């Protein structure tokens, strides 16, 4: 399941290196959360209204719209 940031930004824990190192990073409004953010952190952000679930159809439509040249949007 994918989640998009609705707050100004959120700070989440995620893997930052191939060797498994983890760190806290800021994710800006409109960006999707990395898939490895701990479930408890995702649940808290959802409860606070800082993120929203991205429905698969909506995600595909957004990618399609982003792929069109600017004059076609």
- Per-residue pLDDT tens digits of the chain, which is 73 residues long: 899 999 999 999 999 988 989 999 999 999 999 999 999 999 999 999 999 999 876 556 666 666 666 565 5
Of the chain, the end-to-end C-alpha distance in Å amounts to 27
Composition of the chain by helix, strand, coil, percent to 5: 35, 30, 35
Asked whether the CA dihedral 48, 37, 26, 58 is positive or negative, the reply is: negative
């Amino acid at each position: 399941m994918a989640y998009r940031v609705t707050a100004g930004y959120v700070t989440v824990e995620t893997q930052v290196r191939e060797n498994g190192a983890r760190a806290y990073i800021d994710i800006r409004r409109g960006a999707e959360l990395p898939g490895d953010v701990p479930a408890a952190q995702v649940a808290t952000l959802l409860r606070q209204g800082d993120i929203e679930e991205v429905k698969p159809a909506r995600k595909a439509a957004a990618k399609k719209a982003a792929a069109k040249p600017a004059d076609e949007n």
